[in-house]
Chain A
Amino acid sequence: MEIGRFLTTEDNMRFLKRHLGDLSAYVFILPSFVILGLFLVYPVIWSIIASFKDIPPIALRRSGLFSIPGEVVGFKHYADALQNSLFIKAVFNTLYFSVIYIPITMFGSVFLAMLVNKALPGTNFFRSVFFIPYIISVVSASLIFMFLFNGDRGLVNALLSNFGIAGPNWLASTLWAMPVIAIMSCWRNMGYYMLIYLSGLQNISKDLYEVADVEGANGFQKFRYITWPLLGRISLVVMILLMINSLNVFQEVYIMTGGGPSDSTVTLPFLIFNRAFKYYEFGPAAAISYLLFIVVVIVTVIQKSIVNKRLG
């Protein structure tokens, strides 16, 4: 279209249509655009700005929706966080959680998927049983596990005492509190990952197993050389979801231990929550949350590149 040419209304419309596409499309995305813009994108920007500032709580209370008061302090909050002993402890605690949670959930869910994929008596019933914990809220599950692992009258200690073992006071022990939280998370999430693996198993051709039978392969060899490699792509997805799960442990800590005993269950999200809503240290809280975000992005990018490199 020539510049400076007098445009008729019809030309205008054609021009708009070619460049902007269907005008009604904008109506369809408008609600999502506004809501996600205000309550997802803006918060992400808000956090990054806040993480570079010293925000006085009172000034923030008085400020408008789109202003973030305070003095710019650069990377101070990031540097402070990385040197803070509680931050380092929280990172360590998160690792402790992951070391228990990730392998058990991953191998447990593959194992369950293979079990319920067979025609055994009760398969359908137990498939539901394995999945039900996933729809139970973290709050409810936490309450159930607090009582199961209660030191004085919990079921677990009662069962252990049958074998002559005096169980510890689980949630009051710096050694055992985190494993209890991890085991609860395994119980809640395994059914979900079982379903993901189940759909993967159902895509594996039966012919492969028949060939393996002809070749005289045993059950373990079939798993090692057929099932596990062909589930590779799914395993990588599951792995990243499990890592992200591990970085988001908050509610169970808030309810079951409150971060104790002696900070042994303080996780990064719990630390962020406390800094923000207990001590009103908004800048540091935002900085820690961004450190968490960066870790999640790194994990995701690494996983994506592995998927692309190995499986195309």
Chain B
Amino acid sequence: MNASKVAQTIVLWTIGILFLLPLYWLFVSSLKSDSEITRFPPTYWPETFVWSNFPEIWEQLNFHVSFSNSFIVSVPTVFLTVLFSSMAGYAFSKKRFLGREALFTFLIATMTVPPTVLLLPLYFIITKMGMFDSLIGLIIPFSVTVFAIFFTKQYIDDIPTDMLEAAKVDGSGDFRTFFTIIIPLIRPALTALIIIDFVQNWNSFTMPLVLLQSEDKFTIPLKLALMSQDTVATPWSKILAANLLSLMPVLILFLAMQKHFVAGLMAGSVKG
């Protein structure tokens, strides 16, 4: 290895360690005792590992309720998003219908709408439809995304139309073609989409903040945020322990499916 490569390696490792520092600090702080966490200067490695922080904060916050709420919201939302959006992506890619081009251009244009513009009207619309303070209000309105339509359309565009014609000649109906040919062929894209959408829904904070009222309906980010607002009772070690627990599902999903996730994001972002 020549001198410039050594220098580059040192730079890479230094920045990498700097990036890891917040996560390292999250991990060690979550294992400190209530008294050790308040010390200054802080200890760089816990004197004793207080693993009991995790079960204690889990109990204290009734975290199993928030965890199941987050799953109850995220899993159906992701399922519906993938289904509805790929159906629309199929229609936009392979079907002819009135106003297709105009509608698609319009959809792309809506991607510039800042989320804050939607916040207030969505609150009223969802409330008027009787979905205030219910988990269903976080599922149905978010079960299609323009990004997902755009994303699936790009992949369906690559499927040769001849193949679909052949299926039609063989007597395959539209829905059968969709479920037995299209869906299996774009499976890699759908995997990426599932991960992207799950992470997004799992991390969603603003809409739950506006739409949920009773504590037994709170999703994870909402519960975490509101706990940290009344820090009088909870020491930082416990807050960070809860924080670490809340990260686990997306972290595990990411590490297990990293390749799909990264490939999907790159395809979606660069073409878009």
Please list the residues of chain A having a beta carbon within 8 angstroms of any beta carbon in chain B. Answer: 19-22, 24-29, 31-33, 35-36, 38-44, 46-47, 50, 60, 64-65, 112, 115-116, 118, 120-123, 125-126, 128-133, 135-141, 143-148, 150, 152-153, 155, 157-158, 161, 187, 192, 195-196, 198-200, 219, 234, 244, 247-248, 250-251, 254-255, 268-269, 272-273, 276-277, 282, 285-286, 289-290, 292-293, 296-297, 300
Ordered nearest first, which 3 A-B pairs have the shortest CB separation?
Answer: A137-B203, A43-B121, A21-B96
CB distance from A105 to the nearest CB of B (A): 13
Report chain A residues within 8 Å CB of B19: 126, 129-130, 133, 187
Are the C-beta atoms of A153 and B40 separated by less than 8 Å?
Answer: yes
CB closest residue in chain B, given A269: B116
Smallest beta-carbon distance A162→chain B, Å? 8
Q: Identify 14 new A-B residue pairs, CB closer than 8 A, beyond the known A29-B92, A268-B116, A285-B120.
A: A20-B98, A31-B87, A35-B143, A41-B110, A43-B117, A115-B12, A115-B15, A139-B203, A144-B22, A219-B4, A248-B115, A255-B229, A273-B116, A292-B117
| Bound form: Cα–Cα A120–B13 in Å | 10
CB distance from A95 to the nearest CB of B (A): 17
- Report Cα–Cα, A61/B205, bound state, in Å: 24
Separation in Å of the B268 CB from the closest CB of chain A? 10
Find residues 86-125 in chain B having any chain A CB closer than 8 Å to their own CB. 87-88, 90-92, 95-98, 100, 103, 107, 110, 112-125
B67 close to chain A: CB less than 8 A: no
Which residues from 137 to 185 on chain B have a C-beta closer than 8 Å to any C-beta of chain A? 140-144, 146, 149, 174, 178
- B48: CB under 8 A from chain A? no
In the complex the two chains form, is B9's CB within 8 Å of A120's CB? yes
Q: Chain B interface (Cβ within 8 Å of chain A)?
A: 4-5, 8-9, 11-13, 15-16, 19-23, 25-26, 29, 37-42, 83-85, 87-88, 90-92, 95-98, 100, 103, 107, 110, 112-126, 128-129, 140-144, 146, 149, 174, 178, 199, 202-203, 205-206, 209-210, 221, 224-225, 228-229, 236, 239-240, 243, 246-247, 250-251, 254-255, 258, 262, 265-266, 269-270
Tell me whether chain A's interface is mostly helix, strand or loop, or mixed.
Answer: helix
Chain B residue numbers with a CB within 8 Å of A292 are 114, 116-117
* A120 CB contacts on chain B under 8 angstroms: 5, 8-9, 12
User: Which chain B positions have C-beta within 8 A of A42?
Assistant: 121, 125
Given contacts A46-B121, A248-B116, contact A153 B42 (CB under 8 A): yes
CA distance A297 to B250 in the complex (A): 33
- The answer to whether A28 touches B125, judged by C-beta atoms less than 8 angstroms apart, is no
Do A38 and B141 touch across chains, with their CB atoms under 8 A apart? yes
**Min distance, Cβ A22 to any Cβ of chain B, angstroms:** 5
- The CA-CA distance from A285 to B141 in the complex, in Å, is 22
A43 touches B125 (CB 8 A): yes
Whole-angstrom CA separation of A22 from B90 in the bound complex:
12
Q: Which residues of B contact A38 (CB under 8 A)?
A: 125, 141
A199 CA to B95 CA in the complex, in Å? Answer: 31
Residues of chain A contacted by B114 (CB below 8 angstroms): 244, 247-248, 269, 289, 292-293, 296
- The smallest beta-carbon distance between B234 and chain A, in angstroms, is 11
B129 touches A65 (CB 8 A): yes
**How distant is the Cα of A140 from the Cα of B203 in the complex, in angstroms?**
9
A32-B119 contact in complex given A122-B13, A187-B22, A199-B266, C-beta closer than 8 Å: no
**CB distance A40 to B42 under 8 Å?**
no
Min Cβ gap A230→B in Å is 14
> In the complex, how many angstroms separate the beta carbon of B54 from the nearest chain A beta carbon?
15
Give, as a whole number of angstroms, the nearest-CB distance from B145 to chain A.
9
Query: Is B112 within 8 A of A153, CB to CB?
Result: no
Given contacts A21-B95, A120-B9, A244-B114, contact A28 B87 (CB under 8 A): yes
